[in-house]
Structure 1
């Protein structure tokens, strides 16, 4: 019999509900979620709309799934963003012109 292995890409997606998302997040990310959750609730009280809450839950559902598949990816993203801000640009990235040309080539290939 073949040995089974744990494949995080097959974990179930947490519901877009605060309790389920909090349970799927690391303690550090859970604290960040809690701060955003509180701010979003306050905003919903004054705006009288749930749009911000739905956006927040969608964002964190995506973040939870990404972290389940690639633990630490959120922190790496934040670290890269900080480096880009410090350096005034992304030395690893291409120019806007190169990206637009690439998109145009792909469109023509369709």
Structure 2
């Protein structure tokens, strides 16, 4: 059985994103959209608008592929934060040493 194609990624456009987002996330998007528009009016810069649309484009694509993934991500972040940080993580120094060993082995 062939693997189905993933859903298309919505355009980085407010209307397209609102359509692609599940109803539970639309209010959050709308709130952030209004805030970033207000800041853009003051700063005369579109940078934050582009950043917001990019963030929500990724979120919408993630939700289309795995519904509920955004909430799971938030839940995991809250769990890590409440535990005082990620305890099972590897330090950057240890990761660099591992990479160096693997590069020398090849």
Q: Same fold (TM over 0.5)?
A: yes
Unaligned runs of 5+ in 1: none
The worse-fitting range, judged by mean Cα deviation, of 96-105 and 59-68 is 96-105
Taking structure 1 as reference, are residues 107 and 70 closer, same or farther at Cα in structure 2, changes over 3 Å only?
A: farther
- Provide TM-score, normalisation by structure 2: 0.85
- Provide TM-score, normalisation by structure 1: 0.82
Moved over 4 A (4+): 105-110
Q: CA deviation at 1:44?
A: 0.1
Aligned CA RMSD, in angstroms, stands at: 2.3
Unaligned runs of 5+ in 2: none
**Mapped pair 1:86 → 2:86:** no
Q: CA deviation at 1:34?
A: 0.7
Cα distance between partner residues in 1 of 2:100 and 2:49: 36
Give the aligned partner of residue 59 of structure 1: 55
Q: How many residues align?
A: 106
Give the aligned partner of residue 10 of structure 2: 14
Question: 5 Å matches for 1:1-110?
Answer: 7=4, 9-105=5-101
